[in-house]
Amino acid sequence: MIAANTNSTDCLISPAISPALIEGNAKIAAPLKIGILASGSGSNFEVIAQAIQQGQLNAKIPVLIYNNPEAKAVARAEKYGIPSILLNHRDCKSREELDTKIVKTFQEYDVEWVVMAGWMRIVTKVLLDAFPNKVINIHPSLLPSFPGIRAVEQALAAKVKITGCTVHIAHLEVDSGPILMQAAVPVLPDDTPETLHGRIQVQEHKIMLGAIALIADRPPV
Ligand code: GRF
């Protein structure tokens, strides 16, 4: 079980569902099979892979799908012996065509839940209908504030004093859907997009694990 609380004084993690509710179910279900979608660095993907390797999450990652040939997530997958498959959106005529390939691949690998860990593509009904309410997304703001691209820059431009990050179930509208977990991060007077995003990412890694723990510790079906 990943603790939802943190000792850090500069953030507050607020799960929408109390881990205590599922405490009694820990480790009694089969490992949750999570398919990962990543476009870039893949640091969120790696914290999941590491937590699984260390026995902290009752889950496994059968496959990583990436859309950008340069994605650093691929090297991270190799480190953990996780197969990675390139599905390049530039080879597809539509978003639906890309999502159809994604669904087919995840079904081949028997994936149960999908985690968008820095997936920089808008997803369609094709993916969401294949995994109903089983696609999760991480976003670097306190949704519903600042959805869409450049969320950290949006927060700085709005001069908010507190921003943060959100893990949520993905619905069709970009960065919408039921919130699983959030963490607040104060904005400092001299923050740049890079410094603020760096502190947000520290919290992203915690709530990503917390949210997956909520799902992975589900009762057996
Ligand atoms: C994160 O900030 C996430 O919120 C956003 O994309 C970034 C991905 O980071 N959707 P990483 O690739 O996991 O390091």
Tell me: the pLDDT tens digits for 57-97?
Answer: 999 999 999 999 999 999 999 999 999 999 999 999 999 99
Confidence of residue 9 (pLDDT cuts 50, 70, 90): very low
Neighbour-count burial for 171-188, b at 16+ CB within 10 Å, e otherwise: eeeebbbebbbbbbbbbe
Q: What average pLDDT does this structure show over 137-142?
A: 98
Does the model's pTM come out above 0.85? yes
| Closest listed residue to residue 44, CA positions, set 14, 69, 72, 7 | 72
For position 29, what pLDDT does the model report?
76
Q: What average pLDDT does this structure show over 183-205?
A: 98
Q: Which domain holds residue 113?
A: 12-216
Domain for residue 221, yes or no?
no
| Closest listed residue to residue 113, CA positions, set 48, 174, 54 | 48
Residue 143 has pLDDT above 60, yes or no: yes
Residue 19 has pLDDT above 50, yes or no: no
Is residue 68 within 6 Å of ligand 1 at its C-beta? no
Ligand 1 midpoint to CA 25 (Å): 30
Ligand 1 midpoint to CA 24 (Å): 32
Is residue 44 within 6 Å of ligand 1 at its C-beta? yes
CB 32 within 8 A of CB 103: no
Domain for residue 126, yes or no?
yes
CATH of the domain at 67: 3.40.50.170
Catalytic residues: 139
Q: Which two tokens stand for residue 178?
A: 């039921």
Domain for residue 28, yes or no?
yes
For position 18, what pLDDT does the model report?
44
Number of structural domains in the chain: 1
Is residue 166 within 6 Å of ligand 1 at its C-beta? no
Residue 20 has pLDDT above 50, yes or no: no
Top mutation candidate among 36, 48, 138, 141 for ligand 1, by most atoms within 8 Å of CB: 138
Hey, whose CA ends up nearest to atom 4 of ligand 1? 139
Q: What average pLDDT does this structure show over 92-113?
A: 98
Domain for residue 91, yes or no?
yes
Confidence of residue 24 (pLDDT cuts 50, 70, 90): very low
Hey, whose CA ends up nearest to atom 7 of ligand 1? 118
Residue 7 has pLDDT above 80, yes or no: no
| Closest listed residue to residue 2, CA positions, set 42, 50, 38, 35 | 50
Domain for residue 1, yes or no?
no
Ligand 1 atom nearest to CA at 72: 12
